[in-house]
């Protein structure tokens, strides 16, 4: 492939930023005596479970119905339809079994159909399923708010708002910040993902596929560079750019909040360095700006703590939550300083379905399970295991292609490149690995600005045996993808 001078400079800068990892990875790769591929000994998914009658039908027939009834903008990563799921396993409508390393996009930290979560939801359904908290309030909403207030970092009084989706939580965090400060501006970061509504798309720092063709977006949103040493952007660089932004465009006296994911989600599972959080806290305190930690994907044990920002020792003013909070039931929320949360007038916050009682009951049970089953500690151990196994697999099966292994706890990603010298993102190889893994019975999803990273979102309740089986399938799929690439190159 021919590269421009600019391309070469960018690649060299990226390679230099990643040199410590590159050196270790090269050393690992050079110990391998057979660097090309490993034996592909993992069988394709087998029929292990009866298919419920109401879901009987072929994947192809259902896909045809889906394509006729559902707009193309609603994409599905897998070419099959779910019929049954349990913990970290899923069966499609034809009875094929899959190991789930996607977890419904980081929603199932407690696994599919956790017994305590399902039991709590069913018990609530026997009482009432909806009254709208704004009409007739109910205890599960209050109990969940109390629990969230107790779990969130910060030695100050807190209050919580419950809504239905992550984007709705971010929208309300912005509303609350603006009401409290009387200011309009919001600063977000490149690579961040905050939702698909127009306001949250304005905050999201990735064009394709989220922002393409649907602008214009709201005003008074400013973008700062994310500190990513692999891309040649240090914390010092990011803070200097933020300072410049505040001098040229984002007048700090008009900024209500700074919002940031503690680990980029769609942006590639890149953690925010602790010193960045600490500097942002100081900047916010200096200028009367609120600090928002978007924990929608990183929260509830995924990184080994209740909230990923806890790794930094910083307490934000507002926290947005969703995904794994309720073990698969749709609920989201905003947790924050009591005085800040009380800024909107009565009626200024809420929503017809916000804090649904069944979802509240499920969330309370999921949080209890995370605590009583030691899943935060398990996340840390699981992350260590994945890191070690990925290093082995990369060196043995794809030398000089698995460039980076990163994340916090069990919120990990591996990034594929064409080679270590240029570190050119290889989205095609990543896509091929996902396809081969699916054929062999493993569900994986990509992420990253270039689509060349695989993210791990396996339930924390997955057994060691299931995790290892999934890793073996991953290695076989990676070997398939590498062999396919080599075969094409030889043609």
Q: What residue spans define the domains of the chain?
A: 115-373, 375-490
Range with lowest mean pLDDT among 30-39, 70-79, 80-89 = 30-39
Which CATH number applies to 115-373: 3.40.190.10, 3.40.640.10, 3.40.630.30, 3.10.105.10?
Answer: 3.40.640.10
CA dihedral 242, 247, 249, 251 (to 10 degrees): 100
Q: What is the mean pLDDT of residues 42-67?
A: 69
Which region holds residue 221: left if phi is over 0, alpha if psi is between -120 and 50, else beta? beta
Q: What is the mean pLDDT of residues 30-56?
A: 43
Query: Percentage of the chain with pLDDT > 90?
Result: 84
Give the whole-angstrom CA distance, residue 368 versus residue 370. 5
Q: Are 121 and 361 in contact (CB under 8 A)?
A: yes
Q: Are 299 and 225 in contact (CB under 8 A)?
A: no
Query: What is residue 54's predicted lDDT score, i.e. its pLDDT?
Result: 53
Q: What is the mean pLDDT of residues 403-412?
A: 96
Q: What is the mean pLDDT of residues 51-80?
A: 87
Per the structure block, which two tokens stand in for 216? 């214009």
Tens of pLDDT, residues 96-132 = 999 999 999 999 999 999 999 999 999 999 999 999 9
What DSSP designation does 187 have?
Answer: E
CA separation, residue 266 to residues 26, 51, 376, 446, 450 (Å) = 27, 33, 23, 8, 10
At 489, is the pLDDT very low, low, confident or very high (cuts 50, 70, 90)?
confident
pLDDT of 50 > 70? The answer is: no
Sorted by sequence, the CB contacts under 8 Å of residue 45 that are 6+ apart come out as 96, 97, 98, 439, 440, 441
Query: What is residue 447's predicted lDDT score, i.e. its pLDDT?
Result: 96
Query: What is residue 129's predicted lDDT score, i.e. its pLDDT?
Result: 98
Tens of pLDDT, residues 226-257 = 999 888 999 999 999 999 999 999 999 999 99
Q: Are 295 and 336 in contact (CB under 8 A)?
A: no
Give the whole-angstrom CA distance, residue 163 versus residue 159. 14
pLDDT of 446 > 60? The answer is: yes
Q: Where are the beta strands (DSSP E) in 13-141?
A: 82-86, 89-92, 97-100
Per the structure block, which two tokens stand in for 106? 């980081």
Q: Please give the span between the terminal C-alpha atoms of the chain, in angstroms, as a whole number.
A: 16
Q: What is the mean pLDDT of residues 323-332?
A: 98
Residue that wins the pLDDT comparison between 329 and 2: 329
pLDDT of 18 > 60? The answer is: no
* Architecture of the 375-490 domain: Alpha-Beta Complex (3.90)
CA separation, residue 491 to residues 37, 350, 431, 484, 487 (Å) = 18, 60, 21, 11, 7
Residue 375 C-alpha from the chain's centroid: 18
Range with lowest mean pLDDT among 208-212, 254-258, 354-358 = 208-212
Measure the CA angle with vertex 206, ends 204 and 207; round to 5°.
110
**Mean pLDDT of all residues in the chain?**
90
Tens of pLDDT, residues 148-191 = 999 999 999 999 999 999 999 999 999 999 999 999 999 999 99
Per the structure block, which two tokens stand in for 448? 């990253």
Residue that wins the pLDDT comparison between 85 and 211: 85
The tokens 């299931």 sit on which residue?
Answer: 466
At 383, is the pLDDT very low, low, confident or very high (cuts 50, 70, 90)?
very high
Q: Are 405 and 411 in contact (CB under 8 A)?
A: no
Range with lowest mean pLDDT among 6-20, 41-55, 131-145 = 6-20
Query: What is residue 34's predicted lDDT score, i.e. its pLDDT?
Result: 30
Partner residues linked to 222 by β-bridges: 187
CA separation, residue 462 to residues 101, 109, 287 (Å) = 10, 9, 45
At 13, is the pLDDT very low, low, confident or very high (cuts 50, 70, 90)?
very low
Per the structure block, which two tokens stand in for 18? 């990643």
Sorted by sequence, the CB contacts under 8 Å of residue 49 that are 6+ apart come out as 83, 84, 91, 95, 97
Query: What is residue 56's predicted lDDT score, i.e. its pLDDT?
Result: 60
Within a 10 A sphere around the Cβ of 433, how many other Cβ atoms?
28
pTM, two decimals, is: 0.89
């Amino acid at each position: 492939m021919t590269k421009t001078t600019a391309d070469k400079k960018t690649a060299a800068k990226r390679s230099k930023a990643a040199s410590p990892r590159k050196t270790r990875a090269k050393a690992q790769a050079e110990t391998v005596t057979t660097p090309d591929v490993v034996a592909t000994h993992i069988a394709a998914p087998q029929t292990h479970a009866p298919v419920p009658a109401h879901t009987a039908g072929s994947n192809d027939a259902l896909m045809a119905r889906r394509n006729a009834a559902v707009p193309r903008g609603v994409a599905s990563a897998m070419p099959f339809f779910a019929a049954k799921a349990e913990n970290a396993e899923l069966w499609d409508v034809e009875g094929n079994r899959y190991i789930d390393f996607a977890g419904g996009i980081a929603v199932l930290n407690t696994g599919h159909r956790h017994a305590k979560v399902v039991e709590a939801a069913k018990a609530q359904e026997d009482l009432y399923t909806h009254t709208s908290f704004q009409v007739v309030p109910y205890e599960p909403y209050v109990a969940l708010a109390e629990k969230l207030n107790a779990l969130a970092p910060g030695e100050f009084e807190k209050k919580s708002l419950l809504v239905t989706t992550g984007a709705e939580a971010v929208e309300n965090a912005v509303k609350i910040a603006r009401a409290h400060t009387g200011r309009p501006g919001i600063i977000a970061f490149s690579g961040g993902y905050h939702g698909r509504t127009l306001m949250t798309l304005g905050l999201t720092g990735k064009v394709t596929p989220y922002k393409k063709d649907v602008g214009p977006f709201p005003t008074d949103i400013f973008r700062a560079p994310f500190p990513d040493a692999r891309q040649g952007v240090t914390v010092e660089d990011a803070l200097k750019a933020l300072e410049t932004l505040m001098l040229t465009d984002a007048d700090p006296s008009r900024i209500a909040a700074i919002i940031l994911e503690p680990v980029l989600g769609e942006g590639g599972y890149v953690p925010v360095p602790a010193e960045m959080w600490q500097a942002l806290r100081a900047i916010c305190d200096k200028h009367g700006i609120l600090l928002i930690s978007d924990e929608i994907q990183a929260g509830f044990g995924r990184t080994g703590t209740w909230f990923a920002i806890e790794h930094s020792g910083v307490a934000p003013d507002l926290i947005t939550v969703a995904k794994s909070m309720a073990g698969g039931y749709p609920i989201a929320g905003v947790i924050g300083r009591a005085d800040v949360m009380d800024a909107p007038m009565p009626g200024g916050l809420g929503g017809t379905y916000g804090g649904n009682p069944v979802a509240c009951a499920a969330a309370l049970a999921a949080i209890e399970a995370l605590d009583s089953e030691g899943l935060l500690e398990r996340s840390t151990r699981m992350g260590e295991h994945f890191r070690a196994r990925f290093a082995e697999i990369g060196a043995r099966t794809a030398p000089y292609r698995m460039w980076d292994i990163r994340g916090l706890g069990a919120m990990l990603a591996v990034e594929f490149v064409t080679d270590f010298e240029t570190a050119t993102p290889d989205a095609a190889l990543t896509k091929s690995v996902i396809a081969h893994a699916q054929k062999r019975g493993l569900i994986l999803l990509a992420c990253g600005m270039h689509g060349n990273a695989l993210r791990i979102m396996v339930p924390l309740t997955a057994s060691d045996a299931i995790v290892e089986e999934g890793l073996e399938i991953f290695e076989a799929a990676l070997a398939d993808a590498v062999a396919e690439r080599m075969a094409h190159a030889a043609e």
